[in-house]
Chains A and B, each alone.
Chain A
Amino acid sequence: MTQQPETLHYAVSVVGKDRTGIVAGIAEVLFRLGCNIADSSCTMLAGEFAMILIVSHPRPFSKTRLHDELKPACEGLGMSLSVRSLHADEAVRQETSDEICMISVYGADQPGIVYRVTRELAALGINIMDLNTKLIGTAEEPVYVMMLEAAIPEGQTPEGLEALLGDLKRELSVEIGVRIVTPVAF
């Protein structure tokens, strides 16, 4: 999509108890306003439905207007709403030429898995692009699963990264695996 430099972008997030018609209700308001949904990601987390959308509008358009128009729809659906303006340079497509890895972390549930692993990755200069976590297993034996996709810097290998995470893996007694999922373009 070619964007005009002056195009305004907003980050919109909507979260609330899942039910049918949430996406349609939000999308209807945006459509009526002439907004474009650029990138978006929506998912069900526990019984909650969470929407994150980057919304643009070709003409000058205030954040207040967008918020005020979405508010009744969100209230009708019992959803929380947040709208943030993006600077023009924030709303550009993020390209990466790095290798993309799937990092899987799982083990007995305990506090700090997300924190410790992501802190380590940040220290290694690794940028997280996508992250999902899920509590599975039973009440007696809860298991925590974290899957994240990250761009690893040039020169790093999955094996090297796995080795760097080895100490943490032993300390937390979790499994940590790293594998390349860089897409193949045909």
Chain B
Amino acid sequence: MPNQPILRYPHPVLKKLCNRVENIDTTILSLVDDLLDTMHAGPGSVGVAAPQIGVTLRVCVVDVSANRHGKDNNYGQLCMINPEIIARDGSAIMREGCMSVPDYTGDVERATAITVNFSEPDGTLREIAASGFEAVAIQHEMDHLDGILFLDRIVSIKTGLFRRKSYA
């Protein structure tokens, strides 16, 4: 399947709560292929979630292995159906952008380590413990499945350092 155009906000699908996948049938397998093709077509893309190509199902793909931040610590290509974060630990701020919200970036706080379970396209249940950049990428993509954009999570407009002083 060809890669699909990435929907951009304000497309309403990007703010929808996505539905669980009940059966992994050929439609779902072809959705996974589309997501992979779309991810590989985007320069430097490390993940795509189903709503970004217009499908409100809980499916996303992540692959940070070619990214400088993720190349030394990753599970390779992940195709995640019905992913759930069952544990999270730590916190770090990273400046994020999103193909669905071009021309804007912001500092977002994410867990630095997460345990995620999900179904593989072949139906196998899998649990992984991701950390660092890969954990951030997974959290960003999984947010899409809940209609959450990074804009909903921005924690500072650059000058957080300078909040405290009173001039009274």
Q: Mark A155-186, 1 if CB is under 8 A from B, else 0.
A: 00000000000000000000000000111111
Tally chain A residues at the interface, Cβ within 8 Å. Answer: 17
Contact B167 A184 (CB under 8 A): no
Given the complex of chains A and B, what is the CA–CA distance between A183 and B101 in angstroms? Answer: 13
Q: Given A184-B69, A186-B47, answer yes or no on A134-B165 (Cβ-Cβ < 8 Å).
A: yes
| Size of the chain B interface, CB-CB below 8 angstroms | 26
> B137 contacts A186, CB within 8 Å?
yes
A-contact bits for B41-58, CB 8 A (1 contact / 0 none): 000111100000000000
Partner of B96, one of A46, A93, A183: A183
Interface of A is mostly: strand
Within 8 A of A (CB), among B96-145: 96-99, 103, 105, 133, 136-137, 140-141
Interfacial chain A residues near B158, Cβ < 8 Å: 130, 132, 149
Cβ of A43 under 8 Å from chain B: yes
Q: Which residue of A lies closest to B99 (CB)?
A: A185
Query: Which A residues are CB-close (under 8 A) to B95?
Result: 181-184
Closest to A130 in B: B158
A114 within 8 A of B: no
Taken residue by residue from 18 to 42, chain B's Cβ proximity to chain A (1 for < 8 Å, 0 otherwise) reads as 0000000000000000000000000
Q: By the criterion CB–CB under 8 Å, are A134 and B162 in contact? A: yes
B162 touches A185 (CB 8 A): no
A interface residues, Cβ below 8 angstroms from B = 43, 46-47, 93, 130, 132, 134, 136, 145, 147, 149, 181-186
Question: What are the 9 A-B residue pairs with the smallest beta carbon separation, nearest first?
Answer: A183-B105, A185-B97, A183-B95, A186-B140, A183-B97, A47-B167, A134-B162, A46-B167, A186-B98
